[in-house]
Structure 1
């Protein structure tokens, strides 16, 4: 039963900082396992302001993701990782609410506007074009210098080009928006640097919106502008810019990281690459297990309690900040036996929370799966001898970014 007021604090539980140090690139911080077992709703130190709560158990995280009493509307996405560098007023001016930072009815309105771009029919129409993009970049990999960096030659440009075409963002601008993506996801920026990057991204996207208004095409930006033209109250230019920024960043960054990590997991000992080549029907299972095992959102999702509630017996007061730790939930042994083992044969993998759950479930999940399926299937066929060109335990990762992924993945092969 929910509690309507805060109970006395547990004096044995002292708030702790968010565990972030990984013993190896694809391992989770060891402290998360202890917390999940001993204190599944733990008092959490925030870099600014009062402490909040860290939720690490699968069933609790899943239920919380669907609980309307936990709101997504907050001025700072990552206040549990670093002190807020931008005021709430500045954030509202630079980036109004989007699908990540809104609650109904705004979230319902915005999601309905974007959902039409991610239907099964739309994915079917995109398939031949995505396959052509995959083939083009694998041709470049086959003829380029070796060893090659799979991240920069294939894993990053393929989803970047796909999401550019879906949105209507010129791929010729990819160096610019990838730079801005890196800057916005980085956790070691100064206040001045962050404000500059946010302002540049907004100005860039508003410029695209104005250009599309006079020269619309078959893309998401044009679709949003068409809806606006029919009803000017349905969405503002600033909201379109915020939506496009979210889809642009999430649409290429997370898929690129998943693609590179999937290849790393298949190539490292015991080299599952050969197994999956012989059994291509396992590709979908590889994708789901990769998403579970190497959750992209490495620090969890921040929610704000809109009213009192209880999570796993712990009273949460109105206004409390609650971090739902997706990677810890995806490694919960009660849901995924032997969770630290990468196993494409795992039957429960599809229940992972990497795309969220409930009303904020990721709209682009099927697009990401389609891109990963086409990329991995084609690579397995074309590069049977693909191998790592460095120690798998020494592959560099993004240590100071919100999204977990590989900075580089050196590979080699014989043709």
Structure 2
């Protein structure tokens, strides 16, 4: 991709972002209109969900809330109840048209891809992507992921003084990996990061994330056109070579956008928050450094415990449907709390705090469940299994460079995260 083209895209994205700010402001007045029963799904107390979430789950794992634009929604906080909703493709729809019609969002702003589509469209698109996410194909990325991690560790070591693990490690590792996977130049990483993070920023106004999606799709349309002319070795080039015109440019841009959404921000947040977990548990850091068998269970427990994606894509009832004895009327929106489900007492049998010795039960919902379960789950696991032990081995004496109370977490976000994580490496 030429420097001129990249500059044009960057300028265009900047104009889109400024226009969004001018149009929506910070959106705090809109946020205040939303019921606390909904906002609690997006709040945390440090690394833990707010206590109200557990209380709500214990009292009513499926509960009704009324949204300000006049529609009813249902909050699902229980593990089995969330699995029932997420696993029922015939009972619930994720088609973007439902959201557009109910929230006054233009249907043209649909991001496409897997997250906002139903079968048979979803089935066809997932069938195209699935071969690219098998372990056989993903293994080709292992040497590159290892090299990316080592390059970032080298850069941090060379920097000297305190470093920010978020910006120097957690963000670049998945950004570089996604660029490698899609076949997009690393020079576009800053655009990638902004595009991915904007859509999860609810303080930009309730429709602001959809403006970010539009900017992202515009970017990927340009990338797809370039891949049509000269297919590369990445995922987009492979799909162009193997499927040709049976996948049109709009579908391919939507798929690329979905890979960015699902594979960048979520993994970056898990790396950053997981690094904080290591800083808070020195014995675990030491075991991870010296015992390779510790890595897989640590990664699974971190995924469950952190549940960086706090809430699943909204579902809409296709018909009157009963979940845990509660009838959800046709057309109502359903929001599943993944962080709540992953700490349900019926699932983990305790309060759900971090336990490095826990035999994490199979089936945590960090990647969702059902036909919309994250297609890049294994890629994320690969990155985490490389990043955490490599960090522990290189910097076993790392420690926070600021008092814990000065750490700043996202206050209200679908993907939870920490703004910065300053550490002394030695």
Which category of TM-score, normalised to the shorter sequence, fits these structures? 0.7 to 0.9
Give the aligned CA root-mean-square deviation in angstroms.
2.4
Q: Does 1:238 align with 2:256?
A: no
Matched with 2:9 is: none
Question: 2: CA distance between counterparts of 1:15 and 1:310?
Answer: 24
> Shift of the alpha carbon at 1:393?
4.5
Instruction: List aligned pairs for 1:166-185, cutoff 5 A.
Output: 166-185=181-200
Provide closer, same or farther for how the CA distance between residues 161 and 408 of structure 1 changes in structure 2, counting only shifts above 3 A: same
Q: Normalized per residue, which structure has more helix?
A: 2
> Shift of the alpha carbon at 1:249?
2.4
Q: Contact 1:228–1:236 (CA<8 Å) still a contact in 2? A: no
Q: Contact 1:262–1:286 (CA<8 Å) still a contact in 2? A: no
Matched with 2:409 is: 397
Matched with 1:90 is: 108
Question: 2: CA distance between counterparts of 1:406 and 1:169?
Answer: 27
Provide structure 1 residue ranges, at least 5 long, that are not aligned to the other structure. Answer: 1-13
1:228-253: CA deviations, max 9, x gaps?
42xx3x32211111111110122111
Question: 2: CA distance between counterparts of 1:77 and 1:118?
Answer: 28
Question: 2: CA distance between counterparts of 1:199 and 1:338?
Answer: 42
Matched with 1:156 is: 171
Q: Contact 1:25–1:396 (CA<8 Å) still a contact in 2? A: no
Question: 2: CA distance between counterparts of 1:104 and 1:374?
Answer: 35
Q: Contact 1:64–1:70 (CA<8 Å) still a contact in 2? A: yes
Instruction: List aligned pairs for 1:58-73, cutoff 5 A.
Output: 58-68=79-89, 69-73=91-95
> Shift of the alpha carbon at 1:17?
3.9
Provide structure 2 residue ranges, at least 5 long, that are not aligned to the other structure. Answer: 1-34
Instruction: List aligned pairs for 1:4-15, cutoff 5 A.
Output: none
Question: 2: CA distance between counterparts of 1:20 and 1:101?
Answer: 20
Question: 1: CA distance between counterparts of 2:406 and 2:310?
Answer: 19
Instruction: Tell me the secondary structure at the aligned position of residue 352 of structure 1.
Output: coil
Instruction: Tell me the secondary structure at the aligned position of residue 191 of structure 2.
Output: helix
Question: 2: CA distance between counterparts of 1:398 and 1:16?
Answer: 18
Question: 2: CA distance between counterparts of 1:272 and 1:237?
Answer: 47
Instruction: List aligned pairs for 1:346-361, cutoff 5 A.
Output: 346-361=358-373
Q: Does 1:40 align with 2:61?
A: yes
Match of 1:262 among 267, 271, 274: 274
Question: 1: CA distance between counterparts of 2:281 and 2:249?
Answer: 50
Q: Does 1:105 align with 2:126?
A: no
Instruction: List aligned pairs for 1:214-293, cutoff 5 A.
Output: 214-229=229-244, 232=245, 234-269=246-281, 271-293=283-305
Return structure 1 stretches of 4+ with deviation > 6 angstroms.
76-79
Provide closer, same or farther for how the CA distance between residues 247 and 196 of structure 1 changes in structure 2, counting only shifts above 3 A: same
Q: Contact 1:15–1:43 (CA<8 Å) still a contact in 2? A: no
> Shift of the alpha carbon at 1:16?
4.3
Matched with 2:340 is: 328
Provide closer, same or farther for how the CA distance between residues 313 and 353 of structure 1 changes in structure 2, counting only shifts above 3 A: same
Instruction: Tell me the secondary structure at the aligned position of residue 301 of structure 1.
Output: coil
Instruction: List aligned pairs for 1:378-393, cutoff 5 A.
Output: 378-393=390-405
Q: Does 1:297 align with 2:309?
A: yes
> Shift of the alpha carbon at 1:145?
3.0
Matched with 1:313 is: 325
